[in-house]
A and B are shown apart, each in its own frame.
Chain A
Amino acid sequence: MVKVKRVLYLIVIVMVIFTSSLASSKFTDIWNTITGRATTQNVAINITVGNSAPNITLITAISEVTPIEDHYVNVSVNFTAIDSDGEGNLKDASSFINITKSGEAVRQNSSCLRAGTNNATSANFTCIVQMWYFDSSGTWNIGAMINDTSNAQAFNTTHTLTYNQLSSFKSSPSTLTFPSVNPGALNTTSSNDPLLMNNTGNKAIAAGSIDLNATHLVGETDNTKALYAGNFTISLAANGGIECGGTTTNVTTLARAVYTAITNSTLSRGNHSVNDGITGQEQLYSCLTLAGSELSSQSYSTSAQGAWTLRTN
């Protein structure tokens, strides 16, 4: 019986020591504290309860965004804000979202809407941010912010999204014309070029990465005659017929049924509506270097050998 009691006492002591180790203070801390009976004294206490800053606890946004060519895409971002002083303490007009990437314009919305109230201290907000077709592909950071009525600020930057790559372009005019081509004619330049390419996506096309697959333009009445693909050239400039060859090195002679890289052609990423011929734009000038002397008066088209294909890589 005595043994049993001893074991029980031992267990109790072990439990006390064990549980005391789980506490934040040490077992030996009892020697470091003031002990003894407190003296009696009247103390006037004046407590001012301070403002608690709000907190943004949750951001939800689509993780992957696909750009829309030549346009912007609306990116919806929701976040939850908590204020221990009450959800009414949150200043809705200060709710704000920005989406940022180094070297890029900041995309933001400073007029988010309260989507609803969760409880006495928490509310949800929704923001729509416009991202443009020329915004860089890759990872963008999402920042959410809100103030309370005392202008204490909550800021959360824990979320990111991936803006996908968009390979896209627009070419115009809708027609290319060549004036007065006679059999045997040399170096006839187009009368309404350049063929203007606008980058309507966010993929920057590196030098020489635009190519053209040409075909013979075969006679529609007499299909034994054709304007040969190899007799067309493309250039990035036009001045006195340099697009047909001559001194410039930026002239590309086309070939039938193969993609021929257009020398030095680029299509940068950017807002092509600047319309400066450089930002998000490339200009192609064309020349028919030789119309065969055997040609007859008839229509020549791509119907027989297929369309010409302008491609970005």
Chain B
Amino acid sequence: MKINKNPNHSKLCGIAPSLSNKNLSIISSFLLILLFSSFVSSAGVSSPYWDKDGEGNENPLILSPGETKEFQFILQNAGSDQDLTFTASVTLGGEIAKIVDPEDRYLVSSGKTDVSVKMRVHVPKDALPGREYKVRVDFLSTPVAEPGQFQFASGYGTSFTVKVTESLPKSEKKSTSRLSTPTILLLIALIIILIIIIILIKKRKGAKAK
């Protein structure tokens, strides 16, 4: 953007009144306009877990003490006319959540909608059931192209809650047996009968031998 130092500049430049007014007006507009060179920004971040939004909609991550979960955020740049560079930073809940990609900058080309950011969440073993952790990740996108006079970046704050629940006791875990109770009883009965028959046959043979 440019600033005109002399507000009376236009008056000094005038020669022929009718023409000069027009010219000066153009000159004045050219010199005094503040141009905010920006870009059409359209980008976004998708998350499988989220906190209550403006409509009270939420989807917390539920983990047991000691449990670890890895998932992905998805970066998108479907509507921008330029490639974008995203940065991601955990601004809340860093004690349990971290981004595990080797690079902290993500290039998202124009039209791409599937660039992933891998996050790992680990709940400490001594975390009490019922405890809630708040995690917030801020994504910032800036155009890759040369910066203009006035550059706008876009930020997307995503947050979610990690809820700690009790581990399922072993007795509550689903049985992997596929045999029904009557079938098991029948098998046991058959085995007992078979054993009795074998014993009886042996006794009979023993008696014959005597």
Contact = CB atoms under 8 A, between A and B. Distances in A.
Interface of A: 1, 4, 7-8, 11, 15, 18-19, 22, 64, 66-71, 136-138, 162, 164-183, 188, 198, 200-201, 203-207, 209, 213, 217, 227, 259, 266-269, 288, 291, 295-303, 306-313
A176 B32 CA distance: 14
B181 to A, nearest CB: 11
B203 interface: yes
Interface stretch (B50-58, B98-106, B126-134, B165-173): B50-58
Given A203-B54, A297-B6, A309-B140, 4 more contacts: A181-B3, A182-B4, A309-B153, A312-B155
B32 A181 contact: yes
Nearest to A219: B3
A306 B189 CA distance: 82
A301 B1 contact: yes
B178 interface: no
Interface residues on B, range: 35 or more
B45 A70 contact: no
A167 B157 contact: yes
Contacts of B47: 164-165, 167
A71 B114 CA distance: 14
A41 B44 CA distance: 82
B94 to A, nearest CB: 18
Interface of B: 1-7, 28-29, 31-48, 50, 53-55, 57, 59, 74, 76, 78-79, 113, 138, 140, 142, 147-159, 182, 186, 189, 193, 196-197, 200, 203-204, 207
Contacts of A269: 53-55
Contact of A4 (B3, B42, B200): B200
Contacts of A303: 147, 149, 151
29 contacts: A7-B200, A11-B197, A18-B189, A70-B42, A138-B59, A164-B48, A166-B46, A167-B46, A168-B156, A174-B39, A177-B35, A178-B33, A178-B36, A179-B33, A200-B44, A200-B79, A201-B44, A205-B54, A213-B155, A266-B54, A269-B54, A288-B34, A295-B3, A301-B148, A303-B151, A307-B152, A310-B154, A312-B156, A313-B157
Contacts of A165: 46-48, 50, 53, 57, 59, 158
A137 B57 contact: yes
Given A171-B152, A204-B55, A309-B140, A69 B42 contact: yes
A168 B54 contact: no
Nearest to B201: A4
A55 B139 CA distance: 47
Q: Which of B3, B5, B54, B151 is the most central at the interface, judged by chain A CB atoms within 10 Å of its CB? A: B3
B155 A183 contact: no
B31 A297 contact: yes
Nearest to B48: A164
B158 A167 contact: yes
Contacts of B138: 311
A206 B54 contact: yes
A182 B32 CA distance: 7
B204 A4 contact: yes
Given A177-B36, A206-B53, A309 B155 contact: yes
Given A175-B37, A299-B1, A310-B154, A180 B32 contact: yes
B44 A166 contact: yes
Contacts of A309: 140, 152-155
A201 B154 CA distance: 14
Given A7-B196, A69-B79, A182 B7 contact: yes
A234 to B, nearest CB: 13
B150 A302 contact: yes
Q: Which of A15, A259, A313 is the most central at the interface, judged by chain B CB atoms within 10 Å of its CB? A: A313
Which 4 pairs of residues, A with B, have the shortest CB-CB distance? A168-B44, A311-B155, A204-B54, A178-B34
Q: Which of B4, B158, B207 is the most central at the interface, judged by chain A CB atoms within 10 Å of its CB? A: B4
Nearest to B1: A300
